[in-house]
Structure 1
C-alpha cells in the first residue's frame, strides 16, 4: 500500500507580500459555469508540486500567483501520491488565505481510493480534505469515467458530500459528451446535484476531439470548461522547435509529438502575433500567453489549467488574462491550427 509521507510541521518564515504586487482587478474574474464561484481566468496546476517542485519552490509559485490576483488552484489526489494536496494545504494554512482560494481537486486515480464507487469517492474526498487541511472542496472532479460503475451510485455519493458541506460543486474530467448528457439526465431524474464543470484536453494543437464533442454539450448544459494540457506539454511555450530541443529536455518527449508541419505553422503564427502585440506596447505578450489568450476567447472556457516549474514563469501565464487578440489574429490562429 502506498504511504503518503506528511510534510514536516515546521513553522515557515513570516510571509511578506511583494512590494511590487499588482493584484488582478475583480473584473478579470469569471463565473464558473452555473456555480457562484468566481475565479481568475488561469487555474494554476498543482501537478508539479511534490514532484519537480519542492516545498520552497511550491510556496514561491503559489505566492506569486496569489500576490498578483490568482485564486484558482487545480490539483488531484493522485498528484505526487497526494503530496501536491499536502503542500497546497500547508501553504494555505501558513498564509491564512483559505477563504480567498478556490480549490479544485480530483478523485478516482488516487493510489488508496481508486475508482468512482460510492465508497471510493467518499473515502477519497475525506482523505483529500485531510491533506488539504480544509473542511470543504470548492470544485471536485471525477478524474475517471468508469462505465462499470452505475452513474447513479457515483452521483448519489457526490450529492451526499455536497449536502454534508464537504464539496461545494463538482464536474468531470475526460468524460465524453454522451456521458455528460447521461449524467445530466440521471441527476435530473434522481433530483441530485448536477455537474457545473468539465476539464478536458484542449489547446491550439489539440482541438478536434473537444470541438467535435464536448464543446456542444458544454454549451447546452452551461458547463464551465477548464482546458487541461493548455500549453501542449510545453510545446505552446515555443520552447521546442527542433528535435534537438526535445532531446535536450528530459520532459520534452510529450511536447515532441507536436513537432510537425502543423505544429511549426502554429508557432510561426504565434510568433507573428507576439511581434504585433509588442509593437503595440504589449510587453507581456509571449507565445505561451497568446496561446492561453486564444483559449479564453472560446465559448464556455473559464480558465485554462497551466503549471509553472518556478515562480518566474507564473506572470507569463497570468498575462493571458489581459491580452486582447484582434479578430484578425484569432482568425489567423484558427487557420494555422485547423
Structure 2
C-alpha cells in the first residue's frame, strides 16, 4: 500500500481508505448501501489492515450513529493500529441545535461520536457541510479547543464550495487556529467538477482530497452498459438516484473506454476507475466501500499498479466536460493559461 501525506500535514494516510457507510445500514440511502453488522465489519477491517488500509471513514449521520457504533466495535482492541475519520454538522434531530457546527453542537457531537466509537480521540474530524449560520471564527475556535484537549488530532471539511473552504482557511490563519488539512469530495470519471476550483485551491493551500463515491454512485461498477439490463437484485437503481445526474450516452462512452483498458491491463472496470483517480493532483486517499469480502478485495486491487500515460489520456478525453465560466474556455486560452497553468 502506498502512503501519502494528508494535504500539507505530516499525517500519512493510505492511498485507499475504507468508508463505513455500509456499517449498520438503515433507511432508504444507507440501507441500500449495506447492512453490515459488527461481526462482518470486523472481518472487513481485518482484510483492510492486512492490505495496509488503516484509515476508516464514517459520519454521525450515517444510519443515525449506527455506523460509528459498528466501526467502534470492529476496531476494539486495535485502536492504535487505525486512523478514524468521522464527520458532523448535518441534522441529527429536529431540535434547533440538532444541526450545524456551532460551538455547542460541535462539542456535543464530538462527545457523542467518541462514545459511539468507543475511543477517546478522533484522528480526523471533518465538518460535513458548511454552516452559513455559524460564524466561521466560532467554528474554528471550537475545533481548536477540541484539538488542544486531545479529543481531535486533525480537522477537515467535506462538500464545501471553494469560497467556503477558502474563507475557513483564511480565518484559521488570522486566528492561529488549526487549518483544514483535508477536504472530502465527490470526484469520479463521471463527476469531474472537483477539478474546476477545488483542486487548484487544494494544491495552493495544501488541502488533500479524500475522494468519496469514486465509482460515481455505482455507475462505474461495470454493470451498466448499453442495452444491458441491470442484474436481478441489483441495488444500483437505488443508490444512483441519490447522486448527481449523468447523461446516459456520456456514461456509456466512458464505460466503453474502461472496457478497452480492462482488456489491455487485465484489470476490472472499477479498479481502472479508481486507479485513474489515484493519478490526479491533490488526491490523498480514495475512499472505497464494500458490502462484503468479495467487493472489498476487488476494490483493493486498484493499487499496486499504474495506468500508462496513453491510457490516462484516453480516460481524460472521454470523460472531459466543458467547465462553466470563468474556468473555461478563457482559462484554457494561451494568455490565461500562462498566468494560471491548469493542473490537469
Q: TM-score range by the shorter chain?
A: 0.7 to 0.9
2:219–2:236 CA contact under 8 A, matched in 1: no
SS in 2 for 1:303: strand
Partner of 1:8: none
Q: Name the residue aligned to 1:54.
A: 37
Instruction: Describe the SS at the equivalent of 1:267.
Output: helix
Count the aligned residue pairs: 303
Question: Does 2:268 correspond to 1:294?
Answer: no
Q: 1:223-262 to 2 correspondence within 5 Å? A: 223-241=207-225, 242=227, 244-245=229-230, 248-255=233-240, 257-258=245-246, 260-262=248-250
Measured on the aligned residues, the alpha-carbon RMSD in Å equals 1.6
Kindly provide the CA deviation profile for residues 85-113 of structure 1, in whole angstroms up to 9, marking residues without a partner as x.
111111111xx221111111001125154
Partner residue, 2:314: 332
Cα distance between partner residues in 2 of 1:214 and 1:252: 29
1:205 is matched with which residue? 190
2: CA distance, partners of 1:147 / 1:69: 38
Consecutive unaligned residues of structure 1, counting only runs of 5 or more, are: 1-23, 279-284
Aligned counterparts of 1:231 and 1:179: Cα–Cα separation in 2: 26
2:36 match: secondary structure = coil
Other-structure match for 2:11 = 37
CA distance in 1, matches of 2:121, 2:185: 24
Asked whether the equivalents of residues 14 and 285 of structure 2 are also in contact (C-alpha less than 8 Å), the reply is yes
Aligned with 1:320: secondary structure? coil
CA contact (8 A) 1:204 1:291 kept: yes
Question: Of residues 157, 166, 184 in structure 1, which corresponds to 2:142?
Answer: 157
2:106 aligns with: 121
- The CA deviation string for residues 160-214 of structure 1, in whole angstroms up to 9 with x for no partner, is 000001111011101011111111111111111111010111100000x211110
Choose the corresponding residue for 1:104, options 81, 85, 102. Answer: 85
What secondary structure, in the 3-state scheme, does the structure 2 residue paired with 1:244 have? coil
- Could you tell me how far 1:42 is from its partner in structure 2? 1.0
Shift of 1:230: 1.0
**CA offset at residue 254 of structure 1?**
4.0
Relative to the length of structure 2, the TM-score reads 0.84
Deviation of the 1:258 alpha carbon: 3.6
Question: How far 1:248 sits from its partner (Å)?
Answer: 4.9
